[in-house]
Amino acid sequence: MIITSKENGHVKLARSLAERKGREETGFFLAEGTRLIGELLASDIPMRSLFYTEAFASRDERGLIRKAQERGGKLFCVTEAILKHLALTEHPQGIVATALARVGSCEETLIDPEAFYLILDHVSDPGNLGTILRTARGAGVTAVFLCPGTADPHNPKSVRASAGALFFLNLCRTDNPETLIKRLQSQNVCIYCGDPAGERDCFTETFPLPWALVVGSEAAGPSPSVRKLANHRLRIPQYGSGESLNVAVASGILLFVGAFRTFHKKIPSRGCKIRKDVLY
């Protein structure tokens, strides 16, 4: 049976996930396109439902529909009009999924003495956030801490910009970044704060394990209280004039330079033990 009505309960729930209110009320988020859904199915994120058109089913060379069914997802064949209603991209690929939005608790994160972390303080742009998460996965970040004022990582723009990295990262939300930083420091985590006027040059810093990088808002950087608590302020030398770098670009440079110098040219794949059943 093909779903043809926007009033269908499953369709209405999925469409509500385009808004933060819908995600918070249900605990689910929306993903679309073959690449993102392929990454989703490769992760351990529980899938709730999969919507697809007949045209997509006829060309499903990656077997996404079969894999979703094997993962226990509910399958719904929909018309092209309903798929366009659910999709948020200009040219949808004929497949949309809903899955569990999973964010851990900072208090239950076990600090690894051979790891490094990322703390995001008021990174409010969803696209920048998703790009940073994509970079964090590539650099081998152990866990990402989300402070107040930071965009929702399950915002559709963040999900797309993360290119699936979101599904493999350990995300932890905190209501008090100052308390988080003090807790990390009590466990010998060195806190670096990204700051264009910082006293440390990222290319000469040693980055002793364990360490954490704090990056802040696109306009003002980390909040003053967070900047004050950091062990060191880290700058990226610029050889041209102009404003400071975009937060996603700066984060990428600092994370990869730190990983490179920490692990002597070897960037490992590391994990962090956190509870997997905590929803926001």
pLDDT at 218 over 80: no
Cα→Cα distances 204→5, 22, 39, Å: 60, 46, 36
Cα→Cα distances 134→22, 105, 125, 204, 241, Å: 24, 21, 14, 25, 28
Output the pLDDT for position 105.
79
> For residues 166 and 153, is the Cβ–Cβ distance under 8 A?
yes
Model pTM score: 0.89
Where exactly are the structural domains of the chain?
2-100, 104-262
Backbone φ, ψ for residue 57 (5° rounding): -60, -35
Q: pLDDT digit string (tens) for 225-247?
A: 999 999 999 999 988 766 678 99
Spatial distance between the Cα atoms of 117 and 77, rounded to a whole number of angstroms: 41
Output the pLDDT for position 242.
65
Looking at per-residue pLDDT, the higher value among 269 and 15 belongs to 15
pLDDT at 270 over 60: no
CATH topology match: 2-100 vs 104-262 = no
What percent of the chain clears pLDDT 90, i.e. is strictly above it? Answer: 78
Q: Among 63-77, 116-130, 215-229, whose mean pLDDT is lowest? A: 215-229
For the 2-100 domain, the top CATH level (class) is alpha beta
Among residues 35, 23, 15, 157, which one has the least CA distance to residue 82? 15
Spatial distance between the Cα atoms of 225 and 232, rounded to a whole number of angstroms: 14
Architecture in CATH of 104-262: 3-Layer(aba) Sandwich (3.40)
Spatial distance between the Cα atoms of 168 and 71, rounded to a whole number of angstroms: 17
pLDDT at 158 over 90: yes
Among residues 30, 8, 10, which one has the least CA distance to residue 18? 30
Average pLDDT estimate for 55-83: 96
Residue 271: how many CB atoms within 10 A of its CB?
12
